[in-house]
Structure 1
Amino acid sequence: MSIKDRLAAKSATIGSNPKVLKTSDEGPARPKTAPGQLMSSIPFLAEKERELSAMSQENEKLREQLRSGGVSEVAISELHEVQGRRRRLTMEQYSELRENLRQNALVQAITVRARDTGGYEIVSGHNRVAIFRELGRERIPAVFFKEPDDTATEASALYANLFQPDLTDYEKYLGFKKLLEQTGKQQKELARESGADEGSVSRWMSFGDLPPDAIAIIETKPSCIGGKAAMALASLSREGKSDAVVQAVKALAAGNITQEAAVRLAKENKTTPAKPARAAPVTFRQGAKVYCKVIGAKETIRIDFHSEEARVAAEEAIHAVLANFSGSKR
């Protein structure tokens, strides 16, 4: 058979027995190769990417609301308290606030500032956050504070509560004391910035001149004494009547007397501070002989050696001891 005849025979059979394709009710078969599987996953990945994009846009919208000063809600779990900023409420005040927030919506949003390590620090509203946590709430309305400076934030936290009627004078003292230490500014300058009267600030700062034992008592009940009484008691303390001042503050905290009576009690106390006993000379011996005598009086220490040679021998060691105590170099 010629080549032409053989080609004609093969072409005659084309299409006479077509291949039957399999059908399936389960949809397209899953590709068996890795590239094919990757290609088939593209629609699924695209859908997830759209979901993530929507979440990102929602988060950015939230952050923009916070940056622009608008009120938004933040998760309670993201809030962190800064030591020293929280207002001290009495048990009665705290209970009243808790009952109010349990039954009613929060009217005054808290103020927060973003932290470099994530989450937010509370600028004002610590008690409200604490109560929301106790009530099992997950989110709370908040305003974002845009000031990045720590000192300015502390000042704003203090000034936000400064003229609240239930903020005690002792707490005002603590706030101004912290700002004075942080900023290095003068008391008059801080008074001007806060809008407070200079005389009022001076009365608040007089708490710093009270005896430590009196401060420890006031810490337990800051509302027991105001700045006016504190200034009067501080003046008496400087006159040497610290013990009488402590007793007066103790009676105040117990609710036994008024502030005016406390000042009067400390003023009328006739107790004078006991004079320190005069130190007796100390004698050092070298065998049976006296090596030296040491006599202390107020700011002076006197050493009498039995000979100049003994003084010269000990002088270098004395200098070394004094240099060590003073931290200086000769």
Structure 2
Amino acid sequence: MSWMKQQAEKAKSIQVTQEDQRKATETAPAAACTAPGHLMQLQATAEKQRKEIADLRIQLERASRGRRPVSRMHEVPGRRRKLTPEQYAELKANLQKFPLANPVVLEARPDGDWNINAGNNRVAIYRELGLEEIDSIVTDIDPADAERLAFFSNLFAPSLSDYEKYWHFQCLQDEADALTRQELAATVGLSDSHVSKIFAFEGLPAEAKEALIEKPERLGAEAAAHLAKAAAEGRNGAVVEAVRRLVSDAAFTQKEAVRSVQPQAAPRNIVGETLVVKVGKKSFCEITTRNGVIGVRLKAETDRVGEWAKEIQQFIESRLASKD
């Protein structure tokens, strides 16, 4: 059983009595209703998770530190934090000028190389700069705990996009003993609604999700929910096109992307001016137009409708013939 499943089981075993609820009601602060309030709650949850993995950090401090070849370091899917091009360029410029502030964290592999637990971007930049060795720590943390450390470090990173959170959650659900969404929410300390919102990306077409890999920060969960709804209604092509444009066009906004996939409104009936033909002061007929249709309503000589229809036909034919 994975550590995530174990945490979910612990969460389910917690029993809350009526007395507990009464005390919580008396002492707990009101739920945050503002955006800053929600942010404070999220920060508090992040701090709780950081404390929970403090023992892992102690192990890191006791681990073997030294300079090791980057050529023997390997990236594990899901452990690399996605940076925007600007963030990556800023980190690269910093590493060109200054020594590494924090060593990368590695775990030993059976073949003698190392998997990277933390520091994938730093290792990648060292390779680009042609630097052969990087300051590192090798720890004997259990692989499941290494996954845990990377997961929480990435999950609560301020710059982590909604799509990357979805990707992390999806990886956890793909495990053999996969968590339900409710278990996942209880384990990571987020609300069911927040986790459900993150899973809105699940409804996007595969081509759209593939396009987001390049710039995941371009689409948030709120807009993703609208695009997923459009995809469910059969507008997959429009959704893929909207996401691809979001990735390629910095001026194209999420609101515009959502509008672009909405069904086209039915054309309104355009009613033109009613023309009245009079004989003296009496109305002979009314001529109306609506969406390309010309209607003639006789007020007089209604018994000659067929004859008037033929005369109208002949008039139109004569006009067309004069244009040839």
1:167 and 2:157 equivalent? Answer: no
Look up the match of 1:184: 178
Indicate if the aligned counterparts of 2:76 and 2:115 stay in contact, CA closer than 8 A.
yes
Report deviation, 1:139: 3.4
Q: 1:83 aligns with which of 77, 80, 85?
A: 77
- 1:141 alignment partner AA: D
Deviations 1:228-247 (A, max 9, x none): 11122112221223233223
Matches within 5 A, 1:300-319: none
- 2:204 alignment partner AA: L
Call closer, same or farther: CA 1:204–1:97 in 2, change over 3 Å. Answer: same
Report deviation, 1:82: 1.9
Call closer, same or farther: CA 1:140–1:235 in 2, change over 3 Å. Answer: same
Q: 2:149 aligns with which of 123, 141, 156?
A: 156
Which consecutive residues of structure 1, in runs of 5 or more, have no partner in the other structure? Answer: 1-64, 272-330
Look up the match of 1:266: 261
Counterparts of 2:180 and 2:117, CA distance in 1: 24
Call closer, same or farther: CA 1:191–1:105 in 2, change over 3 Å. Answer: farther
Matches within 5 A, 1:34-45: none
Look up the match of 2:118: 124
1:69 and 2:59 equivalent? Answer: no
Indicate if the aligned counterparts of 1:73 and 1:139 stay in contact, CA closer than 8 A.
no
Please give the root-mean-square deviation of Cα atoms over the aligned residues, in Å: 2.6
Look up the match of 1:110: 104
Indicate if the aligned counterparts of 1:111 and 1:144 stay in contact, CA closer than 8 A.
yes
Q: Which has the larger radius of gyration?
A: 1
Counterparts of 1:112 and 1:216, CA distance in 2: 29
Call closer, same or farther: CA 1:270–1:216 in 2, change over 3 Å. Answer: farther
Report deviation, 1:84: 4.1
Call closer, same or farther: CA 1:166–1:67 in 2, change over 3 Å. Answer: closer
- 2:98 alignment partner AA: N
- 1:214 alignment partner AA: A
Indicate if the aligned counterparts of 2:63 and 2:139 stay in contact, CA closer than 8 A.
no
SS of 2:213 mapped into structure 1: helix
Indicate if the aligned counterparts of 2:106 and 2:115 stay in contact, CA closer than 8 A.
yes
Q: 1:255 aligns with which of 245, 250, 263?
A: 250
Indicate if the aligned counterparts of 1:71 and 1:141 stay in contact, CA closer than 8 A.
no
SS of 1:99 mapped into structure 2: helix
Indicate if the aligned counterparts of 1:252 and 1:258 stay in contact, CA closer than 8 A.
yes
Deviations 1:136-159 (A, max 9, x none): 43433334444323x443333222
TM-score when normalising by structure 2: 0.56
SS of 2:239 mapped into structure 1: helix
Counterparts of 1:196 and 1:145, CA distance in 2: 29
Call closer, same or farther: CA 1:85–1:269 in 2, change over 3 Å. Answer: farther
Deviations 1:278-306 (A, max 9, x none): xxxxxxxxxxxxxxxxxxxxxxxxxxxxx
SS of 2:230 mapped into structure 1: helix
Counterparts of 1:104 and 1:185, CA distance in 2: 43
Q: Number of residues paired by the alignment?
A: 206
Counterparts of 1:78 and 1:212, CA distance in 2: 33
75-84 or 217-226: bigger deviation: 75-84
SS of 1:175 mapped into structure 2: helix
Look up the match of 1:201: 195
Indicate if the aligned counterparts of 1:206 and 1:227 stay in contact, CA closer than 8 A.
yes
Deviations 1:12-62 (A, max 9, x none): xxxxxxxxxxxxxxxxxxxxxxxxxxxxxxxxxxxxxxxxxxxxxxxxxxx
Report deviation, 1:66: 7.2
- 1:82 alignment partner AA: V
SS of 1:184 mapped into structure 2: coil
Indicate if the aligned counterparts of 2:63 and 2:138 stay in contact, CA closer than 8 A.
yes
- 1:261 alignment partner AA: E
Counterparts of 1:212 and 1:255, CA distance in 2: 22
Indicate if the aligned counterparts of 2:246 and 2:257 stay in contact, CA closer than 8 A.
yes
Counterparts of 2:79 and 2:250, CA distance in 1: 27
Call closer, same or farther: CA 1:145–1:232 in 2, change over 3 Å. Answer: farther
Counterparts of 2:59 and 2:134, CA distance in 1: 13
- 2:156 alignment partner AA: F
- 1:163 alignment partner AA: F
- 1:158 alignment partner AA: F
How much identity, in percent, do the aligned residues show?
38
Indicate if the aligned counterparts of 1:244 and 1:269 stay in contact, CA closer than 8 A.
no
